[in-house]
Amino acid sequence: MISEIRDSIQQKAPISSQETRDPLFTCHLGTRAIVAEELEPPVPILSAFGKHPLHLCRALGRWDVSKAATNETKALMRSVRVFEPKQKEVHFDDFIFQFGPQSFLYGDLIRVNGCASSPEEAFQLVKDFTEKYTKPPSSDIWGFQLIKIEEDIRCEWVPLDADSLLDDSAFDLHYPVGTGAWHQEYEETLKAKKKGLSILEGMPGTGKTSYLRHLIGRLKDSHRFYFIPPASMGMLSNSKFIGFWAGQKNRHPEKKLAVILEDADAVLMSRGSDNRDEVSALLNLSDGMLGDFLSLHIICTINCKVSDIDQALLRPGRLICLRKFDRLCREQATRLASHLGKSLPEKDDYSLAEVFSGEGLAPVSRPRMGFGG
């Protein structure tokens, strides 16, 4: 469709007022390619330039689009706003500003594109916008992208609480002796390597997901994290999934991408009739030519034994981390319980969830340890 529109524009410019009232021209904000997102300027911009020179300048960052829309009300030509009832927030998702017959800015919260009849003017449009509306970096905001399938594969930002990031002393209280030293080494590995598979093994409640929340906070400046719910593991073999990752890579070239698969036992276990496609997809994503292109870190949590995992996933070079999360011994659990103001029943060892629940609390009242909590 976009190629047909472009051919029509090139054959006849400028476009008449009757033609610009066509719904495609008046309502369509932009055309997004599946792999390389937004290589094409939106149709209203193409219609303004026709066959005349069109030059584009692009910048990546974080913009205060609401402030820009307030200050440049008369120039706001197109916009898409998102209302989030739970947070009672409204924010801009896409925008187009028009400052002259052939002078445009378009983009979203993390990128802006200037379009003009000369390279110099396009650059100046972007330069002025970024100087006025760049958001200052925030060191106290982090979270992950929840991946979901609607008409397409999309993601939704989920912020994490500040207390999910532990200082060194609190970390040592929460995990068995030696975990802190391992964590430091693992963090450096994730920063150094372009891709790889990590497997965190442990019984339910031993703190695997709480650790991942901590890891997201630690790597918020270098990595961008995505989470696939257990019920949606089938999307790994969805043909659109590769295009989604390629688009995310193009949109965030300054970040390493990491996807978290929680309770991924079924995806990692030896291939059978019920999981063959998912295991094969995971092998391709974590290694090989596709893995080289996408450069993904895949971090899985499992409750099964490592011996049940498909052996191809454990191959050196593909697997960069295999860590078992153990229960806390009584001595350490008592220290953590005392710190939390909890009491514990007499046992030899405890899960982290049991320590947090305290004595006498019904299991249903325990704090949720997963990403949905």
Single pTM value for the model: 0.64
In the predicted structure, residue 95 carries a pLDDT above the cut 80: yes
Mean pLDDT across the stretch 185-206?
Answer: 93
| Among candidate residues 364, 362, 363, 366, the one with its CA nearest the CA of residue 340 | 366
Mean pLDDT across the stretch 163-183?
Answer: 93
What length does the chain have?
373
71, amino acid identity: N
What pLDDT is stored for residue 20 in this prediction?
Answer: 36
What pLDDT is stored for residue 370 in this prediction?
Answer: 46
Mean pLDDT across the stretch 34-56?
Answer: 76
What pLDDT is stored for residue 273 in this prediction?
Answer: 56
In the predicted structure, residue 308 carries a pLDDT above the cut 90: no
34, amino acid identity: I
184, amino acid identity: Q
Yes or no: say if 268 and 302 are a contact pair by the CB < 8 Å rule: yes
What pLDDT is stored for residue 137 in this prediction?
Answer: 60
- Give the ranges where the chain is alpha helix by DSSP (H): 2-11, 17-20, 23-27, 43-49, 65-71, 119-133, 168-174, 179-192, 208-218, 239-251, 265-268, 276-286, 288-294, 330-340, 352-357
Yes or no: say if 296 and 257 are a contact pair by the CB < 8 Å rule: yes
Yes or no: say if 158 and 145 are a contact pair by the CB < 8 Å rule: yes
pLDDT digits (tens, 9 = 90+) for 13-32: 443 333 333 333 333 344 44
Mean pLDDT across the stretch 204-232?
Answer: 92
What pLDDT is stored for residue 86 in this prediction?
Answer: 65
DSSP state at residue 224 = E
pLDDT: which is higher, 162 or 12: 162
Q: Which domains does the chain have, with CATH numbers?
A: 2-133 (no CATH), 143-328 (3.40.50.300)
Query: Band of the pLDDT at 138, cuts 50, 70, 90?
Result: low
Measured distance CA(97)–CA(39) in Å, rounded: 18
What pLDDT is stored for residue 176 in this prediction?
Answer: 93
